[in-house]
Each structure stands twice: as structure tokens, then as C-alpha cells.
Amino acid sequence: MIKFFRHIRQRLLTENKVSKYMFYAIGEILLVVIGIVIAVQIGNWNNDMNRKKLEKILLSQVKEEILMTLNDLESDLSVLLLGQRSNARILNYIQQDVVYADSMCFDFMFLIQDEYIYPKEAAYGKLKEEGLDIIQNDSLKNLLQSIYESQFPRISKDHAFFPDIAEFLSEYYQEHFKPNYDMSLKFKAEFPNDTIQYPFSYTNHENKIVQRTEGFVPLDFEALKNDYKFQMLLRQTVKFRGYKIRRYIITKNIANLIIPLIDKELTQNN
């Protein structure tokens, strides 16, 4: 083909047909330009196809990450809600000036417990390396940025807005409580139907009823009820735990929005 065009050029020059040669040269240039444009378009099309394939691979991996983290969210939220309930009950014990009962040791146990998530982020990290513009669905992209860069850090250990409740109460507990050694005492808690994983070691889990023996016993319950320092600590933990519960619920809701959006992207054009 190249020899063919070269032969035409030589013949036109030999015959001194300058005007025809100029038209021919322009046509040849146009053919080259058209060829380059077509090649670029094919290259762009191939690149777009490869990007779409990569997007689906990475979104599939991100979905697995979020599902694993959602499992932790459900589990931790159960513990935080038990702590919230125990906190309210202990405040009520003080306000109503009740007599100590052995079962209260479990409320004092859940009062001091705190939870954090440890989200998987490898797949999202790969997405960021490729550029988040690889995600074609803007709503999905914004939700992923929100959950990974805003919500997850707020309920992770190293980025929490409030102090760890267990550490916050640890010194006071060491001075005013002892472990419960009465193994005949049983704690029972019923969890919501959407709980994915139970955060307890248990001996019985029929109908989502969990039982275990544990707890903390106040050394002097009557003195504890009149201790203003303890009352102040109780009210502060209400604030800490309430904030974290709200953040957990927000994060859980965002995760539940993301999963169907990813599923939709994965099934498109398949």
C-alpha cells in the first residue's frame, strides 16, 4: 500500500502535475489523520472497557469488605445498646435508692464495656489508587467516600471523638469493684432479629437468648449511690456511648445503602 501511494506521487511529479499533486498530498494527509483518529478511538474504547472491568472487580471486593465490617457493626452495636441500657438502670438504682441485688453485677459489667470497629480497607485503597472517578455512579462514589473517610474513622480506635469508656472508668472500678465469682448467676439478653453475630461466648442461644456468668460487684453499694464522682462518671458515659451509638447507626444505614448500589453496578451490562 505504501509503495502504491509512493508510485502515484512520483508519477504526478514526473508529469509536472503540481495542482493534482497538491490535491493528492492533502488527501493523503487526511487519510493519515483519519487513521490516527480511528486508532485513538479504538484505544480509548479498549481503555474504557478495561476500566469498566476493573471497576466491577474492585467494587465486588469493596462489597465484601463492607459486608465484613457490617457484621462487626451489628455485633458491636448490640454491646453498646446493652451498655446504654445498663447505664440508665444504674442511674435509676441511685435515684430510687434501691437495695442491691446480685443481678446488678451484669449492669456494672456492661457499663464499662466499649467497642470499636476495625474496618477492612484494602479494596477501597486500590480504588483510590486507580482514582475514584473509575466509579461511574456518583451516588455510590459519594457514599463510599462518606463511609470510608468519615464514618469508619469516627468509630475506630485511633480516631474516636470521645475517650474509651473502659479506660475512662478503669481507675474507679479498680478502687470500688470486685469481680463476680458467683457462677450460679446467669445473664440473659435477647437480641434483635437482624443481629448478624452475637458478641458473647455463650452456653445457650436458642431463640437468640444468650447466657453467661460474669459481672462486677460494688464493694460498698450504699456508698456508691452517694458518690457524686460516680454519678458524674455515669452521666459522662451516657454522652460518650450515645454519640457512638448514633455514629454506629448512621454507618450501618450507609452500608445498607451501598450494598444494593454495588449489586446494581455489578449486574449492569452483564
**Helices (H), ranges, the chain:** 2-14, 18-96, 104-111, 122-130, 138-146, 152-154, 165-176, 221-225, 228-267
The grid coordinates of residue 236 equal: 459522662
Q: How many CB atoms sit inside 10 A of residue 111's CB?
A: 24
Task: Give the whole-angstrom CA distance, residue 165 versus residue 133.
Answer: 39
Task: Give the whole-angstrom CA distance, residue 132 versus residue 112.
Answer: 40
What does the pLDDT look like over 40-71, one tens digit per residue?
A: 666 556 566 667 888 888 999 999 999 999 98
Task: Give the whole-angstrom CA distance, residue 255 versus residue 13.
Answer: 72
Task: Give the whole-angstrom CA distance, residue 65 versus residue 115.
Answer: 19
Task: Pick the closest to residue 203 from 186, 218, 217 (CA basis).
Answer: 186
Kindly give the confidence (pLDDT) of every residue in the chain, 270 residues in length, as a single tens digit, with 9 standing for 90 and above.
445 445 555 554 555 555 554 555 566 666 666 767 776 666 556 566 667 888 888 999 999 999 999 988 988 998 899 899 999 999 999 999 999 999 899 899 999 999 998 888 999 999 898 888 888 899 999 999 999 999 999 998 877 778 899 999 999 999 999 998 887 777 665 555 444 333 343 333 444 445 555 899 999 999 999 999 999 999 999 999 999 999 999 999 999 999 999 999 888 755
DSSP-assigned letters across all residues of 152-194: HHHTBTTT-SS--HHHHHHHHHHHHEEE---TT--EEEEPPTT
Structural domain of 18: 2-267
Q: Give this prediction's pTM.
A: 0.74
> Residues, the chain, total?
270
Looking at residue 195, the DSSP 8-state letter turns out to be -
Task: Give the whole-angstrom CA distance, residue 153 versus residue 268.
Answer: 31
Looking at residue 110, the DSSP 8-state letter turns out to be H
Task: Give the whole-angstrom CA distance, residue 36 versus residue 13.
Answer: 27
The continuous run of DSSP H or E covering 217 comes out as strand 216-218
Give the chain's domain count. Answer: 1
Task: Give the whole-angstrom CA distance, residue 178 versus residue 172.
Answer: 11
Task: Give the whole-angstrom CA distance, residue 201 versus residue 97.
Answer: 33
What does the pLDDT look like over 92-107, one tens digit per residue?
A: 999 999 999 998 998 9
